[in-house]
Amino acid sequence: AQKVTQAQTEISVVEKEDVTLDCVYETRDTTYYLFWYKQPPSGELVFLIRRNSFDEQNEISGRYSWNFQKSTSSFNFTITASQVVDSAVYFCALSGWGAGNKLTFGGGTRVLVKP
């Protein structure tokens, strides 16, 4: 069975602070894919990043960065210099080779960025 855990339910920061969202996953598959999605108040899930299990390179995209560590089964997400527009719920998700293409989501972390 696959499982994704996002232990932080809500994080509140002041604008320009950095915020790190934790994601821990469980899977028996050796080939799997990890994703992060953003869900603003409008409700639509917005794709942010996809990583496969063989690529442990960290990635940076603008103010966003991701730290993938297979040794600890974690795929953490950092927003640098947060802005009010970053306020949303962020979901980590897993797609395992043995589970077909269905995504298993974590419970989400609500980020509130105050001006």
Give yes or no for residue 111 binding another protein (CB under 8 A).
Answer: no
Region 47-66 residues binding another protein, contact defined as CB under 8 A: 47, 50, 52
- Minimum distance, C-beta of residue 16 to another protein, in the bound complex (Å): 28
- Minimum distance, C-beta of residue 68 to another protein, in the bound complex (Å): 14
Tokens in use for 12?
């509140």
Nearer to another protein (CB atom), residue 79 or residue 94: 94
Give yes or no for residue 12 binding another protein (CB under 8 A).
Answer: no
> In the set 23, 104, 111, 113, which binds another protein (CB under 8 A)?
104
- DSSP, residue by residue, the chain: --EEE---SEEEEETT--EEE--EEE-S-SSEEEEEEEE-TT---EEEEEEETT----EEETTEEEEEEGGGTEEEEEESS--GGG-EEEEEEEEEGGGTT--EE---EEEEEE-
- Which parts of this chain interact with another protein (CB under 8 A)? 4, 31-33, 35, 37, 42-47, 50, 52, 91, 93, 95, 97, 100-108
